[in-house]
């Protein structure tokens, strides 16, 4: 609102046509923010996604302007690079500075809650970021166990099931699945679990930083919230399951890439009445490589089509919904 008013004042004071153009742009962003706050989900690329979606690379569009293809896909690559990456890095730094007092208060509050038993599983390739993520997770005040294995010849979820067979989730309050190419913020786990539990979430993920590769606009960090209820939670790079979801979702299906599984999980959660959500206060960075950088995109889509053929799932339009909780 401040930027919109400033543009109008500038246009009138200096008789500047550009001021009117920028005022129209600001008005569109304001409208989008208000619609998002009211929980009005929009298709990716619509005005309400504002600056968060504007830098994402859209998928091919049909005559209507909507993304074509399977509706279990986001319709965007989510890849961030080039000059956009520089701008987004600056945006992240500005948001980090702006939200620092709120993060300090949240960290203090998180230290006073109950201690949880947390099992963390991941598939670890050599030379990536899992060791740094492990150190950050083990700094937590919670009782954390981290177990990883090399991928070998198995797909991601077959490897995770092998880990679950050796280290059962039973007896733990939370299960986290963490990819090996993600950067976690300092104090991540304590704040993340505190907000997830305050919001009553059963499936949760941290928001993506502006610089992060993220195909789903709903998962981008938002400065106006600490945590949001959503209709969708991704399969990675960090996914958290509360204990009550274990019987329905574990063991994982035998999938290599797992595209579409998050849409199915979200539909299962809807059937059970489980709240899902994105924690904006603990944004992570997934910046090493975009999705499908190490495998065939076509194979991932074909696997998802076969998996979802006889299973319910949340569609792209349904996944765009979110509502601020705190």
Please check the confidence at residue 154 and state whether its pLDDT lies above 80.
yes
Question: How many CA atoms, within 13 angstroms, populate the side-chain half-sphere of residue 201?
Answer: 32
Q: What is the pTM of this model?
A: 0.78
Calculate ∠ Cα 225-38-221, nearest 5°: 30
Phi-psi region of 28 (alpha: psi -120 to 50; beta: other; left: phi over 0): alpha
Q: What are the residues whose beta carbons fall under 8 Å from the beta carbon of 269, sequence distance 6 or more?
A: 202, 203, 233, 245, 275, 276
What does DSSP say about strands 227-230 and 322-324: parallel, antiparallel, or unpaired? antiparallel
pLDDT confidence band for 49 (50 / 70 / 90): very low
Please check the confidence at residue 305 and state whether its pLDDT lies above 50.
yes
Please check the confidence at residue 307 and state whether its pLDDT lies above 90.
yes
What's the rounded Cα separation, in Å, for the pair 103 and 98?
10
Question: Is the CATH number of domain 82-324 3.90.550.40?
Answer: yes
The model's pLDDT over 102-139, given as tens digits with 9 standing for 90+, comes to 989 998 888 888 999 999 999 998 888 899 999 999 99
Average pLDDT, the chain: 86
What's the rounded Cα separation, in Å, for the pair 242 and 116?
11
């Amino acid at each position: 609102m401040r930027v919109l008013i400033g543009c109008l004042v500038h246009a009138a004071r200096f008789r500047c046509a550009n001021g009117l153009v920028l005022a129209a742009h600001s008005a569109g962003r304001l409208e989008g923010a208000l619609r998002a706050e009211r929980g009005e989900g929009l298709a990716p690329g619509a005005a309400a996604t504002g600056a968060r979606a504007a830098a994402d690379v859209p998928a091919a569009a049909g005559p209507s302007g909507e993304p074509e293809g399977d509706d279990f896909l986001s319709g965007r690559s989510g890849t961030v690079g080039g000059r956009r990456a520089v701008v987004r890095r600056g945006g992240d730094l500005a948001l980090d500075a702006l939200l620092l007092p709120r993060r300090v208060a949240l960290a203090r509050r998180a230290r006073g809650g109950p201690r949880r038993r947390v099992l963390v599983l991941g598939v670890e390739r050599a030379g990536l970021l899992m060791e740094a993520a492990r150190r950050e997770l083990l700094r937590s005040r919670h009782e954390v166990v981290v177990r990883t294995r090399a991928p070998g010849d198995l797909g991601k979820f077959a490897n995770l099931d092998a880990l679950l067979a050796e280290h059962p989730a039973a007896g733990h309050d939370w299960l986290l699945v963490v990819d090996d190419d993600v950067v976690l913020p300092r104090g991540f786990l304590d704040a993340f679990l505190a907000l997830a539990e305050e919001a009553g979430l059963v499936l949760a993920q941290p928001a993506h930083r502006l610089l992060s590769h993220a195909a789903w606009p709903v998962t981008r960090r938002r400065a106006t919230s600490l945590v949001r209820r959503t209709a969708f939670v991704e399969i990675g790079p960090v996914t958290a399951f509360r204990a009550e979801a274990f019987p329905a979702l574990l063991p994982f299906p035998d999938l290599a890439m797992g595209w579409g599984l998050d849409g199915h999980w979200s539909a299962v959660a809807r059937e059970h009445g489980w709240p899902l959500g994105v924690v904006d206060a603990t944004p992570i960075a997934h910046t090493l490589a975009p999705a499908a950088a190490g495998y065939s995109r076509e194979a991932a889509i074909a696997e998802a089509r076969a998996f979802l053929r006889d299973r319910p799932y949340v569609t792209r339009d349904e996944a765009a919904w979110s509502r601020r909780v705190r």
